[in-house]
């Protein structure tokens, strides 16, 4: 008798191990709304983004994230911060010691949002400069009510544009304009 191989036999499921990313945001609305939208849009089961928001200066935010790591099981810890009026040199040194990655935007997170539509290399001194340019693409943009759908189509382009403006992730505060958010987004997607 000849045995026939069962061609319907199932292979064991091969799942990617989940990479858990803790994202701590300096902004209270814009950044958390963006990352929640990105996570939902991309539906990547290999990534779990845990959102925390705290209206703290960058150095305090890094300390908060390092303490949170002890409570939340995660593979990576990121802080999303703006240059604004902060001196980020102490925060970057602390982040290195605590193994916390920084996604710094200079001058502000809205520069990352602008990159979804255009590559801008002209110096931008403040939020208002960025907002004027962003409003050309998203006329109804409201910092307090970010709609991820306005940016969803441009995520991949923003990744490339952000990478082109960034010489060293975590040192974006030294170059205006620049953002390290692209590196975090790459991990999320």
The confidence score (pLDDT) of residue 47 equals 67
DSSP class per residue in the chain: -PPPP-TTPPPPP--PPPEEEEEEESSSSHHHHHHHHHHHHH--TTEEEEEEE----HHHHHHHHHHHHHHS--SEEEEEEE-TT---HHHHHHHHHHT-EEEEEES-HHHHHHTTT----S---SHHHHHHHHHHH-TT--TTS--GGGTGGGHHHHHHHHHHH-SSTT-GGGSSSEESHHHHHHHH-
Which residues of the chain are modeled with pLDDT < 50? 15
The confidence score (pLDDT) of residue 13 equals 52
Tens digits of per-residue pLDDT, 106-150? 999 999 999 999 999 999 989 999 999 999 999 999 989 999 999
Q: What is the pTM of this model?
A: 0.85
The confidence score (pLDDT) of residue 166 equals 77
The confidence score (pLDDT) of residue 42 equals 85
């Amino acid at each position: 008798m000849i045995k026939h191989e069962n061609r319907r036999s199932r292979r064991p499921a091969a799942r990617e191990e989940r990479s858990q990313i803790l994202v701590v945001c300096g902004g209270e609305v814009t950044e958390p709304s963006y990352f929640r939208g990105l996570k939902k849009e991309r539906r990547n089961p290999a990534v779990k983004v845990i959102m925390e928001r705290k209206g703290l200066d960058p150095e305090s935010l890094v300390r908060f994230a390092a303490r949170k790591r002890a409570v939340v099981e995660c593979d990576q810890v990121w802080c999303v911060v703006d240059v604004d009026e902060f001196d980020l040199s102490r925060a970057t040194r602390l982040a290195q010691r605590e193994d916390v990655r920084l996604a710094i935007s200079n001058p502000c997170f809205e520069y990352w949002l602008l990159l979804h539509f255009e590559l801008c290399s002209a110096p931008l001194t403040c939020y208002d400069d960025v907002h004027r340019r962003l409003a050309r693409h998203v006329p109804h943009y409201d910092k307090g009510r970010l709609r991820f759908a306005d940016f969803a189509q441009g995520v991949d382009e923003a990744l490339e544009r952000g990478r082109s403006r960034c010489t060293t992730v975590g040192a974006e505060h030294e170059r205006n304009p620049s953002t390290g958010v692209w590196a975090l987004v790459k991990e999320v997607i």
